[in-house]
């Protein structure tokens, strides 16, 4: 009996522990008299759902929203840095482009200058041919015929390409600019002493080249010549060129005086 009472005591304590323990307490059966009944336990909770098969895939699955903006990385403006080699390359390219541009500008300026010189030379040659046509004895240097401005010009142009340039010279064997002017006017009995600075003060002043007439003296402290019209002068130009007809702009640099002595 003591043994049966002990079994009943254990069963009562177990029942009083609460329904939470019913799932874990194994069913008990007690042997005894015919009046005694076996005590059993059963589950009182609902069975769980069927376990999923792919737990790892489910735990790592991620839903990506196609409209989401992950920090706007696509729209970030990241400054582009250049290496020193790239900077040096760009600097060289800029320097080369500048050098090419300057070379092209110089070439264009030289071409324009060459064209102007060609035009000037052509005008001088045309004037020389015209003077030769109006002077039947151009190559023989005919003596002057009367003291007039046209006679002075006609006489002076006969020496074009005939007399060399000689510094300090004053004769057809060789002369410089002021020696040429002095010799030509001297043949008409008119004094026009050298140097060119003195010739720039002779006679009457002419206000501008627009009012100049053939036969006038064009002179400054460095050069002198005789005006033949159309912006041209006949003058002893240089050792390499001798006596020539040239535009005033070629013969003179800077200002000059226009003097009339006839």
- Most distant CA pair in the chain: distance in Å? 185
**pLDDT tens for each residue of 176-201:** 999 999 999 999 999 999 999 999 99
Instruction: Assign 112 a pLDDT band (cuts: 50, 70, 90).
Output: confident
**Helix (H, G, I), strand (E, B), or coil: what is residue 129?**
helix
Angstrom CA distances, 201 to 143, 212, 217, 218, 262, stand at 27, 15, 10, 10, 14
Q: What angle do CA 118, 127, 125 make, to 5 degrees?
A: 40
pLDDT at 245: 96
Q: What domains, with CATH codes, occur in the chain?
A: 133-260 (3.90.1720.10)
Q: Give residue-wise pLDDT tens across range 126-141.
A: 665 555 554 434 345 6
pTM above 0.75, yes or no: no
């Amino acid at each position: 009996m003591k043994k049966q009472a002990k079994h009943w005591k254990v069963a009562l304590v177990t029942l009083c522990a609460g329904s939470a323990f019913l799932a874990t307490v194994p069913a008990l059966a007690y042997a005894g008299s015919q009046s005694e009944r076996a005590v059993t336990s059963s589950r009182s909770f609902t069975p769980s759902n069927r376990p999923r098969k792919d737990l790892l895939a489910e735990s790592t699955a991620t839903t990506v929203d196609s409209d989401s903006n992950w920090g706007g990385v696509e729209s970030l403006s990241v400054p582009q840095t250049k290496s020193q080699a790239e900077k040096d390359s760009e600097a060289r390219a800029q320097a080369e482009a500048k050098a090419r541009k300057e070379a092209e500008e110089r070439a264009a300026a030289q071409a324009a200058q060459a064209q102007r010189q060609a035009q000037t030379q052509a005008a001088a040659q045309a004037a020389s041919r015209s003077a030769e046509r109006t002077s039947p004895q151009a190559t023989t240097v005919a003596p002057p015929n009367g003291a007039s401005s046209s006679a002075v010009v006609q006489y002076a142009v006969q020496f074009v390409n005939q007399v060399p340039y000689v510094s300090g010279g004053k004769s057809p064997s060789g002369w410089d600019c002021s020696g040429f002017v002095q010799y030509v006017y001297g043949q008409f009995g008119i004094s026009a002493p050298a140097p060119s600075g003195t010739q720039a003060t002779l006679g009457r002043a002419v206000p501008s080249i627009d009012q100049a007439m053939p036969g006038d003296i064009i002179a400054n402290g460095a050069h002198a010549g005789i005006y033949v019209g159309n912006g041209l002068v006949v003058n002893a130009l240089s050792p390499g060129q001798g006596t020539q007809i040239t535009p005033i702009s070629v013969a003179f640099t800077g200002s000059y005086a226009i003097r009339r002595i006839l």
